[in-house]
Chain A
Amino acid sequence: MKKKLKVLHLEDVDADAELVERALLKGGLQFEILVVDNKIDFIKALEEFLPDLILCDHSLPSFNSIEAITIVKEMKLHIPFILVTATISEESAIDVMLGGADDYILKDRMARLPNSIERVLEKHRLENEQKQSEKERERLLDIIQKSLNEIFMFNPETLLFEYVNDEALKHLRYTKEEILKLTPLDIYPDLNEKTFREMLSAIEHSAVMKKIFETSHLRKDKTHYDAEVHLQLIEQETGKTFLAMSMDITQRKKAERETLQLVNSLQSKNKELGQFAYIVSHNLRAPIAKILGIASVFDTGNENPSNTELLECIVQEVTNLDNVVVDINTIISTRDSINDKIDYVYFDAKLKLIEQVLKNQITESKAAITSDFKNSERVLTVKSYLYSIMFNLLSNAIKYRLPGVPLNIHLQTERVADFICLSVKDNGMGIDLKKYGEKLFGLYKRFHGNAIEGKGIGLNLVKMQVDSLGGKVEVESNINHGSTFKVYFPIIQNGDDKNKQGAAD
C-alpha cells in the first residue's frame, strides 16, 4: 500500500486551504494535510508532523514564503517546497525560487498542482538517491583513505600514481603532491622499467589478473622496509587501473629471520649433541674396556676368597656402566641419523652381517636361523635402520629363548599392500601381550625379570625407527610358544626405479 503523502500547508485563508485540498483530491493523491497559518506552528509542524511536501502561500499576516523557505533550509530539511499563491510579484517569485522552492502555482491555475507535486517529488527522489550514492562513495573513499593497508592506484600506461592513501604516504614519507609525480619504479629500488612492465603485462594476461609478492619499498629518505604487495588490474568503464595494496611486513620478516636463526642454532646444537655422543662412546668406553680387561687378567689366586667375589662385583658394575654408555650412543646416533641416505638394502646381506656380529650369542645358544627373502629380496630404506631393526629383533629372539628347547628363528619377507613386511618368528619364551601389550615398545621396559640380560632398549629403538620410516610394527605372541614380530616398511618410489622394489612381481 502506498504511504499517504504528508502535506504541510501554510495558509491563512480557509477557503484557499479548501481549494488546495480539493485540487489534491481531484488529482487522486493519497494524502494527509496539516494547515498552519503562523511561524510558530510552521516550525512545530516541521519538527513533529514531518511533512513530505510543503505547500506555501506567499503572504500571510505575520509571515511570508521567503521566510518559510529560509527556515526550512536553515533546519537542513530537504522537503519539496511549492509556492501556491494568488498574488506575487515577479520579483518575489524569483526570490522564493532562488531561496530553494521547487515550483510555484498560481491559485487560478490550481489544476496544475497535482502534476507539479508529482514532478517535484520525483525530482527530490532522484536528488536523494544521488546524495545517497555520493555519501556512499565518500564513505568508501574515506575508508580507503584511512585503511591500514597502503593503497596505491597507478596508470597502466604512464605508470604514474593516480591515488595513494594516507597510510602509504605515512610509510613512504612523501606528500600527496610529491607522490603523484612518481611511479612504482621510484619505490621499488630493485626493479627496472622493462621488468616491471613485463610483470604488469603478465598480470594483464593472467586469468585472475593479480599477483602477490614480497618486496622492499624505498622511502623518500632512501631507507627501506619489507612489504607484501597484492597487485591487481581493475577494468572499469572509464578504463584500466592497477590497484596495489601493500602491508609493511618488517615485523613478520624479522620473526621469520629469528625463526630461521633459531632453527640453525638448534641444528648446530643437535650436531654438537651427536658429537657429544661420539665422545661419550669413545672416551668413556675406552677406560671402561680397560677396567674390564684388567679385571679379566687380575690374579686372585692367593688372596682372600672374598676378593674374588668383590672383583666379580666390580666387573658386573662396570659392565652395567658400559651398557648405559652403549645405550646413550645408540639412542643419540639413531635420532641423529634421521637424514641418512635412503638406499636399496638386501635382507640377506644384512642378515649375514648381523649373524657375524652376533656370532658368539648364536654359537652359544645353538640357534638355528632360517630365512626366506624370495618374495621381497630388498627394500628401499635407511640402511642403518634396517640393520638396527633386524639386529634388535634377532638378538631379542636369542636372548629370550626357552631353556631346554632348541631355538629356531625364521625370517621372512612378503609384500602386503603398500608395505614390505619383514617377519621374525621364534619359538622362545613369548610375551604376555595382555599384560604388557602397550608397554612393549616403551624405553627401558623389560618383561623377563633379571635372570636375562636385557637393557629394555631394543624394542623401543625398533619402534622409533619404524615410526620415522612411516611404517608399523606388529607382534603376535604366546607365553612359552614364541613370538612373531612383523615390521612393515613403506614402499618408497625411487624415480625411474619404480616398481622394481620387492621381487614379488
Chain B
Amino acid sequence: MTKTNKVLLIDDDEMLNMINKRIMQKANYAENPQTYLNATDAIDDIKETVQTHPGDLPDAIFLDINMPNMDGWEFLEEFEKIPGQLVNKCKVFMLTSSIDPRDIEKSKSYKTVSEFICKPLSVEKLKILNMLSGTGTSK
C-alpha cells in the first residue's frame, strides 16, 4: 500500500472528524484526510480545485447529513451541478448517525452517492469499502 486515498471528511462535529481521521490512518485508508466543519467551505474548495488543479480532486468524500447551514443533501445538489467528467472519480459516502430507512432511500436517489454508512466508522468498514468499490490502494 504505497498510495492511499485523498479524502475529504465533512462533518460539523470537530471531534468526530478527528476520530475518523485517526481511524482512516489506522486502516491505512487515507494518510491525511482533509476535514471540513461545514459543507459550504467544502463545496467552495471543490469548485475552486475544479478550476485550478483538477488533478487534486479527492478520491472519496465522507459526508454527514445533519449539519447547520448547508446540510448533506444540499451539498449533494451543489456537488452534482459540477460538470460530470471532473467529479466522476469522486466517490461520495454518506456517513451519518441516522438509521432512518428513508434517509437510506433518499441517498440512493443521488447518482454520486456510493454507499450509506452508519456511524461509527470503523477500520473494518473501511476495509470493506476498499474491497467493494475498488478505490484507493489498488490504483
Residues of A within 8 A of B (CB): 278, 281-282, 285-286, 288-290, 292-294, 296-297, 326, 329-330, 333, 353, 357, 359-360, 363, 384, 387-388
Evaluate contact between A282 and B128: CB separation under 8 angstroms: no
Using CB atoms, name the residue of chain A closest to B102.
A384
CB within 8 Å for A384 and B101 given contacts A290-B15, A290-B16, A296-B23: yes
CB within 8 Å for A286 and B119 given contacts A297-B19, A359-B128: yes
B89-139 residues with Cβ-Cβ distance < 8 A to A are: 97-102, 104-105, 108, 116, 119-125, 128, 132
CB within 8 Å for A294 and B101 given contacts A359-B132, A360-B128: no
Q: Residue among A281, A294, A329, A330 with the most chain B CB within 10 A?
A: A294
Evaluate contact between A289 and B119: CB separation under 8 angstroms: yes
State the CA gap A294–B20 with chains docked (Å): 9
B interface: dominant SS: helix
Residues of A within 8 A of B3 (CB): none
CB within 8 Å for A290 and B66 given contacts A333-B100, A359-B132: no
Evaluate contact between B121 and A293: CB separation under 8 angstroms: yes
Using CB atoms, name the residue of chain A closest to B26.
A297
Evaluate contact between B97 and A289: CB separation under 8 angstroms: yes
Residues of B within 8 A of A388 (CB): 101
> What total of A-B pairs shows CB separation below 8 Å?
66
Q: How far is the CB of A59 from chain B (nearest CB, A)?
A: 114
B22 within 8 Å of A by Cβ? Answer: yes
Residues of A within 8 A of B120 (CB): 288-290, 292-293, 296
B78 within 8 Å of A by Cβ? Answer: no
CB within 8 Å for A290 and B98 given contacts A296-B122, A360-B128: no
Residues of B within 8 A of A288 (CB): 120
Residues of A within 8 A of B26 (CB): 296-297
B13 within 8 Å of A by Cβ? Answer: yes
Using CB atoms, name the residue of chain A closest to B65.
A282
Q: How far is the CB of B90 from chain A (nearest CB, A)?
A: 20
Q: How far is the CB of B114 from chain A (nearest CB, A)?
A: 10
Partner of A293, one of B23, B66, B102: B23
State the CA gap A278–B96 with chains docked (Å): 13
Evaluate contact between B128 and A281: CB separation under 8 angstroms: no
Using CB atoms, name the residue of chain B closest to A282.
B97
Evaluate contact between B97 and A285: CB separation under 8 angstroms: yes
Evaluate contact between B123 and A296: CB separation under 8 angstroms: yes
Residues of B within 8 A of A289 (CB): 16, 97, 119-120
Evaluate contact between A297 and B22: CB separation under 8 angstroms: yes
Known: A293-B120, A297-B23. 20 other contacts (CB 8 A): A282-B66, A285-B97, A288-B120, A289-B16, A290-B119, A293-B16, A293-B121, A296-B23, A296-B26, A296-B120, A296-B123, A297-B19, A297-B26, A326-B99, A353-B105, A359-B132, A360-B128, A363-B128, A384-B101, A388-B101
Residues of A within 8 A of B15 (CB): 290
Q: Residue among B15, B99, B104, B132 with the most chain A CB within 10 A?
A: B99
Q: Residue among A278, A289, A353, A387 with the most chain B CB within 10 A?
A: A289
Q: How far is the CB of A347 from chain B (nearest CB, A)?
A: 16
State the CA gap A384–B128 with chains docked (Å): 27
In the complex, 18 of the A-B residue pairs with CB atoms within 8 angstroms, ordered by the A residue number, are A278-B100, A281-B97, A282-B97, A286-B97, A286-B119, A289-B16, A289-B119, A290-B120, A293-B119, A293-B122, A296-B23, A296-B26, A297-B19, A297-B22, A297-B26, A353-B104, A360-B125, A388-B101
Evaluate contact between B119 and A285: CB separation under 8 angstroms: yes
Using CB atoms, name the residue of chain B closest to A329.
B99
State the CA gap A285–B123 with chains docked (Å): 19
Partner of B108, one of A286, A296, A333, A353: A353
Residues of A within 8 A of B116 (CB): 357
State the CA gap A333–B100 with chains docked (Å): 8
Evaluate contact between A285 and B99: CB separation under 8 angstroms: yes
State the CA gap A353–B101 with chains docked (Å): 10
Using CB atoms, name the residue of chain A closest to B13.
A286
Residues of B within 8 A of A286 (CB): 13, 16, 97, 119
Q: Would you list the 7 A-B pairs with minimal beta carbon distance, nearest first?
A: A289-B119, A289-B120, A285-B97, A293-B19, A297-B22, A292-B120, A293-B120
State the CA gap A288–B23 with chains docked (Å): 16
Evaluate contact between B19 and A294: CB separation under 8 angstroms: yes
B7-25 residues with Cβ-Cβ distance < 8 A to A are: 13, 15-16, 19-20, 22-23
